[in-house]
Structures are given as C-alpha cells and as structure tokens.
Amino acid sequence: MKHRSPLLTLAAVAVAFAVMFTVNMLASPPGSSSTGTAPPAAQTTASASPGSQETGTAAASPSPSATKSADDSKFPEKVVYAGRAEDGAGAIAVAVLGTQAAGYFCDGRSVESWFRGTVTGSDISLKSKDGATLQASLDGDHLKGSLRIKNERVRFEIDEAKKPAGLYRARGSQTTIGWIVLEDGSEVGVQRTGQDSTPAPELDPQNPQVTVDGTELDAAPVNGNEDL
C-alpha cells in the first residue's frame, strides 16, 4: 500500500523552497557593481519594496525610490569592515573614511598586503605597492568583493567591525605590523621586518603597545586616509 500525503508534504516543502529562492533572487541587490551605479539602483528598487509591487502604482515611479536606494548603498562617513576570507585563506579589513579607503589582507603567518585607494559610490578599489588589487562593494551591511594577490584570488564578504574590532597598524624603523581584530576578539596579524614576515605578536586593542626586539611600538587604528 502506498501513501501520498508524505509526497504532498515533500512537494509543499519543495514549493516553499522555490518560493523563498525566487523572493530572494528578486530582492537581492546585485552582487557585483562593475556595471555602474544606475542598474543596481534600479534593481534594488524592484526588490527593496516588494509591497509597492503588490500595489502596482508605486512600482511605476522608480526615480524617487532609486534615489533612496542609492542613498542606502552609501558607505558611512567612517567605517571599518573586517572578517575572514572565504576558504579561511586569511583575514581582511577595509577602513573607509570619506572617499578614502585602506585595506589589509594577511594570513596570520607570512602573507600580507596593505592596500590604499578610493571610494566611488558603493564601490571600493584598492591597490598595494607590490601590485595586489582589491575590489569590493557595499552589499547591504556587508562589504563584498575579492582581492588578487600573487595570482591568487581571495573572495570575501565581511561585516562592519565595531571597536575594539578593526584594523590596527604599528610602524617602527624596520618593522611594520598589521593586525585584524575580529568581532569575536580573535586576531590575525603579520609582522614584517625587511623581507621577513612572521606572525604578529599579540595585540591588546585597549592598550595597543607591543615590544619588538626591545623597542616599544605604538599600534594605532587604521582609519582609511593614512599613508601605508
């Protein structure tokens, strides 16, 4: 004997999945913004207000809401994003101050790179002195993008980091140290002296001082507009 109701349950769950996926796809702002700012704004309009689509009339007037969603996808004046890369390749932090931005990627062992660049709308484009690049754009509350370092592509999607989380840097005559402090309190950092890169010493964000080879170095939060 066969029963059909479990199959109906399965079908209902499959339909629920399909509906949720469709709603999400309609509602998601486009991930990559290399296409410029206008199309994302238009698509976000269609999605950010599903209620207005139901009423029908509001959807016909895209321009006011397009302006609104463009505002929504602007960076705060001063913000830091930090998080781990996909696949655990390392950690990334990006600090934004106005139209200036700085970034840091490191694996906590030996690979690291400091990036500098500018903010255009909801996009960030950064470069390092040794030729690594970082592209990211604002996606809701997250910063989403990828960086290319030594022909490796590292994708990331990172959240705003509230202090004491964030990006810190200490600079001595020979040594530069970078730390990414994550929301959970963990730290990923690399210390570079000349060509030697080693894991960074532990940093106390409340008392940001470290001793390297007998010299005390002060670490400071990176805001986004400093020379790196």
Partner 1 sequence: MATIPVPAPEAAPAETSGTKIAPVVVAFAIGTAVSIGLGVYGRLHTPTGYAVNISGFSSGPAAKAALASVVMLLAIVQTVTAMAIYGRIRLRGAWLNPVHRWSGRLAILISVPVAVHCLYALGFQAYDGRVIAHSIFGCFLYGAFVFKMLILTRDDSPGWALPLAGGLVLSGLTALWMTAVLYFFFV
Q: Is 218 in the site for partner 1 (CB under 8 A)?
A: no
Query: Is residue 139 near partner 1 by the rule CB under 8 A?
Result: yes
Q: Tell me which of 3, 60, 195, 202 binds partner 1, using CB under 8 A.
A: 3
| Binding region for partner 1 (CB under 8 A) out of 17-25, 59-67, 95-103, 189-197 | 17-25
Stretches 135-143, 164-172, 196-204, 213-221: which one binds partner 1 (CB under 8 A)? 135-143
Nearer to partner 1, 47 or 225 (CB): 47
Contact at 8 Å (CB) between 33 and 122? Answer: yes
Query: Could you tell me which stretch among 22-30, 108-116, 128-136, 218-226 binds partner 1 (CB under 8 A)?
Result: 22-30
Residue 106: enclosing H or E segment and its boundaries?
strand 100-106
Could you say whether residue 153 binds partner 1 (CB under 8 A)?
A: no
Asked whether 59 and 43 are in contact (CB, 8 A), the reply is no
Residue 127 · residue 118 · CB < 8 Å: no
The helix-helix angle for 38-48 and 62-72 (nearest 10°) equals: 100
Q: Which two tokens stand for residue 144?
A: 């989403």
Smaller CB separation from partner 1, 2 or 150:
2
82 backbone dihedrals φ, ψ, rounded to 5°: -150, 150
